[in-house]
Amino acid sequence: MSDIIRRDPRAEWIARNRLHPLHAAMQPEQHSWMGPNGIIRKNVHGMGFIGPNGIKRIDRSGAQQGGATKRTAAVQVQLPLHQVPAPAFYINVVPDMVGGRLSSHDRDLLGLARQLAGSDGAVLAVVFGEHKESAFDTAGVDRLLVLDGREFDGYSPEQRVHGLRAVDNQFSPRHWLLPDSRSGGGELGRRFAASLKERPATRVWQIKGSECIGRAGAGREDLARALPRLILAAVECADPVSDTRHEVLPVELSTALARSLPRIEDLGAVAVDPGAIPMAEAEFIFSGGNGVKDWELFHQTAAALGATEGASRVAVDDGFMARDRQVGASGIWVTARVYVAVGISGAIQHLQGIGACDKVVAINLDPGCDMIKRADLSVIGDSGEILRALIAAVQAHRNGAKRDAA
Amino acid sequence: MTTHVISLVSIGAHPTSGRPRRAEQDARAVELGLQLAGDNLQVLHAGDIAEPTLRAYLGMGLAQLHVLEQPAGADALPVLGDYLQDAGAQVVLTGSQAETGEGSGMLPFLLAEHLGWPLIVGLAQVESIDSGVAHVLQALPRGQRRRLKVRLPFVATVDNAGPKPRQSAYGPAQRGVLQEHDVQVVDDELFTGAVLQPAKPRPKRLKVIKAKSGADRMKAATAKASGGGGQVLKGLGPEAGAEAILKLLIEEGVVR
C-alpha cells in the first residue's frame, strides 16, 4: 500500500448510510463524553485527520466523515537516475572505505569526480576487498570495480598498486582521484604516482576549470597549478552528490592480476593500551552513565572488550570517572566509529558530543529515552546482567577463535 | 653489529611566524635514527650549506652533517638518489612531508622507487633488526599500531607518531661539522607552471537544507540528531542481548 494519503469515498458513503452493517464502525472517533463524575472529558488526540502533506487538520464544519485513519505521508522521494550508457571517458576514484563504508571524505571525493565527469564521463569507483556499503548509487558511482581476492587482504599497498596499474591500463581514465588521508588513500596515491612516474597534485582543495589549488608546505602556502591526471584531494574538496541516483554498474578487469611476492609482510594489529589513546580520536568507546551501578564491573567489561572508557556528565559529577573522560558538550566531542552507551539516557549535550559517531549501541532500562532513538542497536534491560553476559560472550568468542587457530 | 642508518633532514618553517627552524618530522626521524644507530647515524641534507638552521640538527648530539650543496629551487631527488645508491645504508629515515616548498610528501616514495627498496609509511618504532629482516611498528590513525616485517634495506617515513625529538643544545650545535659534497644541480620543473601564494582560508561549508515544505524545514532546524530508528531488543534475556551487541562489535571489527 502506498503511503500517500487518499480519500476513501466508500468509507465515507458507509458512514453516511445508517442502514449499512458497517455504519457504526465508520463513525468518527468520539472525542467528548460525559465522565463518571459528570464532567465532560475530551480526547484531543482523536480529533481531526492527517492532511495530504502530513500535517494534522481539524475540520470543525461537521463535514468530516469516516474513521480517523492514522496514516503518515512519509513519501520516499525517488531521486532522478543519471545514466551514462557509453562513457566518453572515465574518472577513477579509489575511496578509503574505512570500516568497509564510504567516509565523508570519500563522498566529497565522489562529488568532485562527478563535477569532473560532467554528463559524458562516468565515475568509476575502485574498491579493494569486501565492502558493506549500500549507498553507492546516491554517492555518485556510475561504475563499480571490486578488486577481490586474498592478496588484497590486510595491509597490501604494493599489491594494490599492481591492481590500480591494471585498471589504469584497461580504462585509461582521464583523472585518478584519491583521498589525501592518513587512513590509506594518501599513501596508496603516492605509491601509485611513484610507480607511474607521474607528478600528482596533493592536498587539493579546489578545482576550477583546468587549474587546481592545493595546500603546500606546512599549510602556510597554496600551490596553484595546471590540473594533472593524478589528484590527491583534501577533505571538503567538493560538495557530495545529493540530487541524483547513479547506476553502479559492476565492471571487471579483463586480465587476471599477476601476483607478486610482497616485500612488506603484515603481521597484524598490535594491541595498544586503550586508555592511552586520546578520547577524541579513539575508535571504540565504552561509556557509562547514571544507570551503571557496579563500576568495577563496568571497568572489567571495558577491559574485556578492549575499549576506551568514557562517561556522561552525571557519572563524572558523582565521582565515578575522571573529568577528562566526560563525553558531551562540556567534555570531549568524540569521533568514535562504535560507541556503546551503558545507562545513559541521552541528554542533548551528550548527544551533541557523539554526533560524529557511526554506530551507537545503547544498554538501558528505559525504552523511551533519547539515547534509544539515536542508537542503531538498543538492548532494554538491567546493565549489570547484560555486562556480565557480555564479558562471558567475549571470552567465549576469544576462546573459540583460539581453538579454531589451534 | 650496528645498522647503517641515514636520516634525511630539511629546513622547516614555524607554522605561525614562518621563521626557519628544524623541521618537526625530520627531527623525529633524527631522534629515531639516534635510538637505532647511536653515534653511527649519518644525517644528510640537500640544500644550502650556509643556512644557520642546519646547526639545530647538530645540536641534537651529532658530530657531523653531510650536505649535498645545491641552490634553493633545485630538485633534491636525483642527487639524494645517487648519493644513497652508493652510501650502503640499510635504513633511510625521512619526515613524511616538507614544511616549505611544495611539501607533497612524494620524495620518500620516489626515492624508494628509484632505489628499488620497500617503503614503510608512518614508522613509529623499530622492534628488532635480525639477520637482514626488521620487525617494525607502523602508526595508524586513531592511535593504533600495526606490526610489519620487512627486508633490509628499506626507506621509512616518520610522522608525528614517531619518538619526540630531543632538545637541540647550542654548544654541540656550534662544535658540529657541516661536511660539504659537490653534486650536479638539477632544476625542478614544477615551478615553471605553478605559483606559490599565501594560503587562503578555506571557505566554510554551508549547511544546506533541501526541504520541500515549511514543516520539513522546521523539523530540520529543531530536530535532535537521531539515527532514524535502530533495532530495539526488548524482553530478551541478558545473554541474547549480549550476543546481539557482540555480533555488531565483531561486524564493525572493533572486537577481534
pLDDT attached to residue B71: 87
In the predicted model, is pLDDT for residue A67 greater than 50? Answer: no
| Angle in degrees, 0-180, between the axes of helices A383-405 and A295-305, rounded to the nearest 10 | 30
- Residue B19 touches partner A, C-beta closer than 8 Å: no
Please count the other Cβ atoms lying within 10 Å of the Cβ belonging to residue A370.
19
8 Å CB contact of B242 and A375: no
8 Å CB contact of B244 and A379: yes
Least CA distance to A191: which residue of chain B? B109
Q: How far is A142 from chain B (nearest CA, A)?
A: 24
Q: Which range (A129-133, A163-167, B105-109) has the least confidence?
A: A129-133
Mean pLDDT of B22-40: 93
Give the distance, in angstroms, between the CA of residue B173 and the centroid of all CA atoms in the same chain: 25
Contact assessment for residue A91 and residue A141, using Cβ atoms and an 8 Å cutoff: no
Does residue B251 lie in a domain region?
A: no
Cell numbers that stand for A403 in this block: 581453538
CA–CA dist A192, A179 (Å, integer): 13
Mean pLDDT of B98-116: 91
- Residue A110 touches partner B, C-beta closer than 8 Å: no
- Residue A385 touches partner B, C-beta closer than 8 Å: yes
Mean pLDDT of A146-173: 90
Q: Identify the residue with better confidence: B192 or B37.
A: B37
Contacts of A220 in chain B (CB under 8 A): 13, 15, 18, 198-199
- For chain A, the average pLDDT equals 87
ipTM: 0.87
Cell numbers that stand for A179 in this block: 583521498
Mean pLDDT of A141-162: 89
Q: Residues of chain A with pLDDT > 70: what percent? A: 92
Q: What global pTM score does this model have?
A: 0.79
Contacts of B241 in chain A (CB under 8 A): 363, 379, 381, 386, 389
pLDDT attached to residue A277: 84
- Identity of residue A393: A
Cα dihedral A292→A294→A299→A300 (10° resolution) = -130
8 Å CB contact of B144 and A283: yes
- Residue B204 touches partner A, C-beta closer than 8 Å: no
- Residue B201 touches partner A, C-beta closer than 8 Å: no
In the predicted model, is pLDDT for residue B225 greater than 60? Answer: no
8 Å CB contact of B149 and A267: yes
Contact assessment for residue A342 and residue A289, using Cβ atoms and an 8 Å cutoff: yes
Q: Which range (A33-37, A363-367, B228-232) has the least confidence?
A: B228-232
Mean pLDDT of A178-189: 91
pLDDT attached to residue A63: 64
pLDDT attached to residue B32: 94
Contact assessment for residue B47 and residue B23, using Cβ atoms and an 8 Å cutoff: no
Does residue B229 lie in a domain region?
A: no
**CATH code for the domain in which residue B133 is found:** 3.40.50.620
Please enumerate in sequence order all residues whose Cβ is within 8 A of that of B202, keeping only pairs 6 or more positions apart, or say none: A205, A236
In the predicted model, is pLDDT for residue A51 greater than 80? Answer: no
Mean pLDDT of A162-188: 92
In the predicted model, is pLDDT for residue B177 greater than 80? Answer: yes
In the sheet that A308-311 helps form, which strands lie side by side, from edge to edge?
Answer: A308-311, A284-288, A338-342, A359-364, A377-380, B231-233
Mean pLDDT of A16-24: 87
Count structural domains, chain B: 1
DSSP string, A334-398: ---SEEEEES----HHHHHHTTT-SEEEEEES-TTSHHHHH-SEEEES-HHHHHHHHHHHHHHHH
In the predicted model, is pLDDT for residue B223 greater than 70? Answer: no
Does residue B204 lie in a domain region?
A: no
8 Å CB contact of A267 and B249: no
Mean pLDDT of B16-37: 92
Residues in B 103-162 with any Cβ partner in A closer than 8 A: 103-106, 109-110, 112-113, 118-122, 135, 137-138, 140-151, 159
8 Å CB contact of B245 and A374: no
pLDDT attached to residue A68: 46
Show the domains of chain A with their CATH numbers: 1-76 (no CATH), 81-251 (3.40.50.620), 275-405 (3.40.50.1220)
Its sign, for the CA torsion A252, A255, A256, A260, is negative
Does residue B200 lie in a domain region?
A: no
Helix (H) or strand (E) holding A400: helix A383-405
**Local confidence band at A41 (pLDDT 50, 70, 90 cut-offs):** confident
In the predicted model, is pLDDT for residue B222 greater than 90? Answer: no
Does residue B168 lie in a domain region?
A: yes
8 Å CB contact of A186 and B143: no
In the predicted model, is pLDDT for residue A109 greater than 50? Answer: yes
Residue B157 domain boundaries: 5-192
Q: Which range (A5-19, A155-169, A231-245, B53-67) has the least confidence?
A: A5-19
pLDDT attached to residue B224: 59
- Residue A355 touches partner B, C-beta closer than 8 Å: yes
CA–CA dist A57, A43 (Å, integer): 15
Q: Which range (A149-153, A185-189, A381-385) has the least confidence?
A: A149-153
- Residue B21 touches partner A, C-beta closer than 8 Å: no
Helix (H) or strand (E) holding A316: helix A313-317
pLDDT attached to residue A65: 56
pLDDT attached to residue A62: 64
What is the tens place of the pLDDT at every residue in A52-63? 777 788 877 766
